Structure 1
Amino acid sequence: MPHATFCCPDLTTFTRLDELGLEVIGQRLEPDRAVLACRVVDPDDWCHRCGAQGKPRDTVVRQLAHEPFGWRPTLLEVTVRRYRCTECGHVWRQDTTQAAETRAKLSRRGLRWALEGLVCQHLSVARIAQALGVSWNTANTAVLAEGRRVLIADPARFDGVRVLGVDEHVWRHTRRGDKYVTVIIDLTPIRDRTGPARLLDMVEGRSKQAFKAWLAERPADWRAGVEVVAMDGFTGFKTATAEELPDATAVMDPFHVVRLAGDALDRCRRRVQQTLHGHRGRSGDPLYSARRSLHTGIDLLTDKQKTRIEALFAGDAHVEVEATWAIYQRMIAAYREPDPVQGRARMQAVIEAISSGVPGALTEIITLGRTMTKRAADVLAYFERPGTSNGPTEAINGRLEHLRGSALGFRNLTNYIARCLLEAGGFRPQLHLGL
Structure 2
Amino acid sequence: MTAAASTALRTDHYELTMLASALRDGTAERRCVFEAFTRRLPDGRRYGVVGGTERVLEAIENFRFDESELERLAEDHVVDETTLAWLRDYRFRGDVDGYPEGELYFPGSPLLTVRGTFAEAVLLETVLLSIMNHDSAIAAAAARMVSAANGRRIIEMGSRRTHEESAVAAARAAYLAGFTATSNLEAGRRYRIPTTGTSAHSFTLLHDSERAAFESQIAALGADTTLLVDTYDISRGIATAVEVAGTGLGAVRIDSGDVGVLARQAREQLDSLGATGTRIVVSGDLDEYAIASLRAEPVDGYGVGTSLVTGSGAPTAGMVYKLTEVEGRPVAKRSTRKGSRGGTKSALRRHKDTGTALEEVVHRTGPGFAEPKAGPHDRVVPIPLVRGGKRVDDLPSLEDNRQRLRHALVSLPWEGLKLSSGEPAISTVFHAEESI
Q: Same fold (TM over 0.5)?
A: no
TM-score, normalised with respect to structure 2: 0.26
Structure with more helix by fraction: 1
TM-score, normalised with respect to structure 1: 0.26
Q: RCO higher in 1 or 2 (8 Å CA, sep ≥ 6)?
A: 2
